[in-house]
Chains A and B, each alone.
Chain A
Amino acid sequence: MANLFEESDERFLVTLSSEGEDKMWQVNDKGEHEFTGGKQDWIAAAKAAEECSCFQEDDEDELVADENISCYNCRYRRWTAKSFICCK
């Protein structure tokens, strides 16, 4: 996934989501990569984390997804009002 970020100049990054080809990430005004699934797309967040070599589980008190490996549980996610930013 990190390679995708580096190699893509497109505003919307396209990768495989739980429901097939979909826009899982978008680049916000600050150039950050924001998850398009919001805070409730458990399947897509888990799939994204499984495909990511940078996933690291956050402190136990900050885990919110039932799937252990999920971007929602990653120490490199930063919550936003509607979703989260991947900081890797």
Chain B
Amino acid sequence: MKILLSIDDTDAMKVEGVEVLGTGELASMIKQTVEERGWGVCEPITRHQLLIHPDIPYTSHNSSMCFMADIDADRLDELIAYSSDFLVRESAPEADPGLCVAVIDRLSHPGWLISFGYMAKNYVLTKEEAYDLAETLGLHLSEHGGTGQGIIGALAGAGLRLSGNDGRFKGKIKIKSETGIVTAGSIRATGKVDLVKSLEEGIILEDSDELVLGDTVKAVLLDGKAVLPVYSIGKDDSGRPRWQTYSKSQMKDF
């Protein structure tokens, strides 16, 4: 069965000399456990930016982390129990962690979950609204410390991942190149990118098209695919368009 696992509000402001794992790191550790224990196969983690507002408590950037997985149905309860214990154990003491696990095929109204995700990017939502929707949709939503406020972001993260059109993938794509120029095909061959696309022009690069690697190579979630966004930097000597990967500042709006 395909599931979404999303967590939020697990960390605290980092303190010198004290190791505080970010929400993304905790999501990675849960994902790793799922695969190591043979519970299922996971897809990459996405980061989803939520509303920054004075009425919303958050550590530093108010984002949630989510991944999709195809798991053995018999392992669902075990996964939820493990993830719950893990968040209690690994979250920062000051954190307000929340966990959402949604079985996609069992969602009564998937569109409502997606709508909740987008609302969390634009409005201040409450725990009560999150629990009400979770009950209506029939998904798991639980809090594991502090105020439990993280359930809002966890639910929203699941909705935004389900939308297929929000967030950026955790981690950089590592690709070797002595010249700093690679083909779109070699990027896709890493298995971490479905498409290399110029978002401004709406052009999907051919595998033979070349692009210049910037200092960060990250994919974003668009139309349910891992898309590496590139922008035009003119044409080469033969008149072929040249492309470059987005910089960090260009990526920040995803």
* Partner-B contacts on A (CB < 8 A): 42, 56, 58-66, 75-81, 87
User: Closest CB-CB distance, A33 to chain B, in whole Å?
Assistant: 14
> Is there an interface contact between B249 and A62, defined as CB atoms closer than 8 Å?
no
Q: Does B90 contact A (CB under 8 A)?
A: no
> Is there an interface contact between A78 and B13, defined as CB atoms closer than 8 Å?
yes
Q: Does B14 contact A (CB under 8 A)?
A: yes
**Nearest A-chain residue to B20, judged by Cβ:** A75
Residues of A within 8 A of B62 (CB): 79
**Nearest A-chain residue to B215, judged by Cβ:** A66
Contact of A65 among B25, B60, B63, B249 (CB under 8 A): B249
Question: What are 6 A-B residue pairs whose CB atoms fall within 8 Å in the complex?
Answer: A63-B248, A66-B215, A77-B60, A79-B62, A80-B54, A81-B52
Residues of B within 8 A of A59 (CB): 22, 24-25
Q: Which of B19-59 contact A (CB under 8 A)?
A: 22, 24-25, 47, 52-54, 59
> Is there an interface contact between A76 and B53, defined as CB atoms closer than 8 Å?
no
A76 CA to B164 CA, complexed, in Å: 31
> Is there an interface contact between B13 and A76, defined as CB atoms closer than 8 Å?
yes
User: Closest CB-CB distance, B192 to chain A, in whole Å?
Assistant: 14
Residues of A within 8 A of B252 (CB): 64
A58 CA to B16 CA, complexed, in Å: 12
Residues of B within 8 A of A63 (CB): 216, 248
User: Max chain B CB contacts within 10 Å: which of A58, A64, A77, A81?
Assistant: A64
**Nearest A-chain residue to B62, judged by Cβ:** A79
Categorize the interface residue count of chain B. Answer: 20 to 34
Contact of B61 among A66, A76, A79 (CB under 8 A): A79
> Is there an interface contact between A61 and B171, defined as CB atoms closer than 8 Å?
yes
Once A59-B22, A61-B24, A64-B251 are accepted as A-B contacts, the answer to whether A80 and B52 lie under 8 Å apart by CB is yes
> Is there an interface contact between A65 and B54, defined as CB atoms closer than 8 Å?
no
Residues of A within 8 A of B16 (CB): 56
> Is there an interface contact between A62 and B52, defined as CB atoms closer than 8 Å?
no
A38 CA to B216 CA, complexed, in Å: 23
**Nearest B-chain residue to A56, judged by Cβ:** B14
A26 CA to B80 CA, complexed, in Å: 45
User: Closest CB-CB distance, A48 to chain B, in whole Å?
Assistant: 16
> Is there an interface contact between B171 and A60, defined as CB atoms closer than 8 Å?
yes
Residues of B within 8 A of A75 (CB): 14, 60
> Is there an interface contact between B247 and A66, defined as CB atoms closer than 8 Å?
yes
Residues of B within 8 A of A61 (CB): 22, 24, 47, 168, 170-171
Q: Would you give the 0/1 interface string for B157-182, flagging 1 where the beta carbon is closer than 8 Å to chain A?
A: 00000000000101110000000000
A22 CA to B252 CA, complexed, in Å: 26
Once A56-B14, A78-B13 are accepted as A-B contacts, the answer to whether A62 and B53 lie under 8 Å apart by CB is no
Once A61-B171, A76-B13, A87-B13 are accepted as A-B contacts, the answer to whether A81 and B60 lie under 8 Å apart by CB is no
